[in-house]
Amino acid sequence: MGNALPVTTHQMWFATVVAACVAGALGVLSWHRVRPPYPPALPRTLLALGMVCFTGLYAWAAWTFWDNCYGAVLPPWGRVAAPFVGTTYGALGWVFWWIARRVLPERPVVPFLALAALQSLPGHLYAIYGRGLLEGCQVIRGISPASALTFGLFEFATYWAVLVLIAHATTSWLQRGRADGD
């Protein structure tokens, strides 16, 4: 991956538009599919799914992009710590669902996805301004911070929209299976 082509700010904004379209479509789908009555296991399933998926995503990113990106701005132990950070990010899904159910009990998907999108900001702000990501990572060197931060919002909304759809479908299916077996 050492020969990766650099991304321009223009390309990052284009990717942001694509990510916004995908997140919007998945958000609308989530709005229509994830509705009461909610399976009781939904929060636990969302927690488990979030932890597994973000742990895998962060481990994959740390090992795949270490040499041409993250290794330039993180200490060596960051490569090993990345999956644990992913576990923490995944666990936040349960917290977001809990908050969203209190904000909009009948249709918590919108506040859930808003919180999920905002989840990207602390990590990306720290990476950009605290660790020099946009100067140290050759692939995204020189892109505008605004484009990177905006992309991150839609990126995380997309991740969590997929996860809430899968968690809801899984728990609904299991609940129907138990009801049919009674």
Q: For residue range 27-42, list pLDDT tens digits in order.
A: 999 999 998 888 889 9
152 in any annotated domain: yes
The label of the residue with tokens 């999920």 reads 116
Identify the three-state secondary structure at position 75.
coil
46 in any annotated domain: yes
Grade residue 72 by pLDDT with cuts at 50, 70 and 90. confident
Count of domains for the chain: 1
pLDDT, tens digit (0-9, with 9 covering 90-100), for 109-164 = 999 999 999 999 999 999 999 999 999 998 899 999 999 999 999 999 999 999 99
3 in any annotated domain: no
Domain extent at residue 64: 40-175
The whole-angstrom distance between residue 14's C-alpha and the CA centroid of its chain comes to: 19
Q: Is it the case that residue 43 has pLDDT exceeding 90? A: yes
Return d(Cα 137, Cα 30) in angstroms, integer. Answer: 34
Arithmetic mean of pLDDT, 79-86: 90
49 in any annotated domain: yes
